[in-house]
Amino acid sequence: MFFLGVGTVIIGAAAGSIGLSPYQTGLLVSAQNVGFMGAVLVAGALADGMDKARLMSAGSLVLAVSFFFYYVWPAYALNLAIMAVIGAGIGIYEGTADAMLLGLHSRRQGLHVSVNHFFVTFGCLGTTLYLIFLQTGWRRSMVQSAAIVLALAALFLFSRAGRGAADTTTLRQRIAFLKTQGVLAVLLVLAVFGCGIELGLTGLLTGFLMELRGYGQAASKIGLVLFLAGIAAGRVVLGFVSGRASLPAMVTGLFAAAAACSSVLFFVRLPLVGTAVMLLLMGMAVSSLFPLLITMAGRLFKDMSGTALGIVKLGVPIGGIVIPFALSMATRAWSFQISLGIFPVLAAAGLTLLLASGRMIRQRLGDERPAGAAVPTSAES
């Protein structure tokens, strides 16, 4: 998962060294998201009926090869295709890893999923720090990452983890059942809101700190590091708490905290120390939104967790595409300052949706189908 974080931020981390324009960088991000969307759905569906360790091995191999060949040659079209393959590798990991963890651990599932995603943030944070302090040598780091991930492919190939009884239901039966579940649509929308806030802030924080708060490039990057550090810390701390608290209540509280913190951060002029503290708090507020939503989906759909998680994880590319696009349109129509209001609005929308559907989610969490129960067909549903 650390190398998932590397693959997620490598576009922005290496764009300056490669000499990419903002237009070219945006196309690379789009290509990565397209690869992710297709792979996370397919991998999630396959994870319900196949050996998850073998799927993780395949994802590692895809990532290793694409890491190695990324910008070996300068042809932009070729690297656009390679970036789509990187997105596919990330999607295979995302569609399989959490489903494997939920199958391996029957207790404290929120902690295991949160710690798993902590390492994604750790990879993002490590790459950002690498950019600040070393500036060069990014190609060498990609080759080294490829070698390590290739070793992971071999490790997963011979691993016995995740090898359980195959699911006897067909993909068509699983999809027919999931279509009847309004709670899954709610979780997907919440994931779009949560991921949109997290990914949007990751992309815009340095610009906000430089343009609207007057900080230099180094200080603005340190601000991004503080935000990512808040996410990392929050995923560990809140992961421990999640085993002792109601998951819907925790997610509701995090959306409320995100609404409050983003409002203060963007619309109240704070001193340096206050800004640093608020960046940390903002990171903690959004840290566990996505992992806790994944945990809820896994608990609600135990017999088809891979398929359900694959659908919920579509919130990552949807939020990563729609929210930055909305911010760009709002900036063009009004101003950068006004466009930042989308973050508290998204958090408030997530809070409102949870307050409206929280009872339904709590009832479903307390009335899960027993493991091994047959999945209704479309006629039975």
Of the candidates 193, 157, 368, the residue with the CA atom closest to the CA atom of residue 286: 193
pTM: 0.79
Give the least confident one: 97-111, 156-170, 274-288, 303-317. Answer: 156-170
Look at 177 and 372; give whichever has higher pLDDT.
177
Phi, psi of 243 (to 5 degrees): -75, -15
Task: Please report the pLDDT score of residue 255 as a whole number.
Answer: 97
Look at 248 and 221; give whichever has higher pLDDT.
248
Helices and strands (H, E) in the chain, number of each type: 16, 0
For 110-163, write each residue's pLDDT tens digit. Answer: 666 777 777 776 676 666 666 555 555 667 777 877 888 888 888 888 876 655
Binning pLDDT at 50, 70 and 90, where does residue 192 land?
Answer: very high
- The CA radius of gyration of the chain, in Å to the nearest whole number, is 20
Task: Please report the pLDDT score of residue 371 as a whole number.
Answer: 42
> 10 Å Cβ neighbour count for 243?
13
Q: What domains does the chain contain, in order, with CATH numbers?
A: 1-162 (1.20.1250.20), 171-367 (1.20.1250.20)
Task: Please report the pLDDT score of residue 98 as a whole number.
Answer: 80
Task: Please report the pLDDT score of residue 283 as a whole number.
Answer: 94
For 46-78, write each residue's pLDDT tens digit. Answer: 888 788 888 889 988 998 898 889 888 888 899
